[in-house]
Amino acid sequence: MEQVTRLANKLLIDRPPYMTRRHFVMLADELAYDKVYYKSPLSYHEKLIRLVTYCQASNSRFNIKSFRARINKSYNKLVKSLEKSAGGTI
């Protein structure tokens, strides 16, 4: 007999698992680190596009503007902390 993953008695066959705002915030923070440490901007943007597509598929209320704003906020905070610890600019 075939097993099917269920969440609240809803089949999860054709779409990724449901994600909440908290999941999106965690992903945005991780992407901010990737934005700093990826050697190639192209690699970062490809990953960003894949994650945005995934997030949109998992939750119809996903807001790309707030997601990008969170990435930028976390990125700026990270850059400032790295500048402080390095004693200058990156």
pLDDT in tens, 36-55: 998 888 999 999 999 999 99
Average pLDDT, the chain: 85
Percent of the chain with pLDDT over 70: 80
Q: Does residue 31 or residue 19 have the better pLDDT? A: 31
**Which residues, in sequence order, are CB contacts of 36 under 8 Å at separation 6+?**
75, 78, 79, 82, 90
Q: Which helix (H) or strand (E) holds 6?
A: strand 6-7
pLDDT (0 to 100) of residue 16:
77
CA 23 to chain centre: 8
Task: List phi, psi (to 5°) of 8.
Answer: 55, 45
Number of Cβ within 10 Å of residue 24's Cβ equals 20
**Which residues, in sequence order, are CB contacts of 85 under 8 Å at separation 6+?**
none
Cβ atoms of 78 and 32 within 8 Å: the answer is: yes
State pLDDT tens for residues 51-80.
Answer: 999 999 999 899 999 999 999 999 999 999
Mean pLDDT (whole number) for 6-13: 56
Q: What are the sequence ranges of the domains in the chain?
A: 23-86
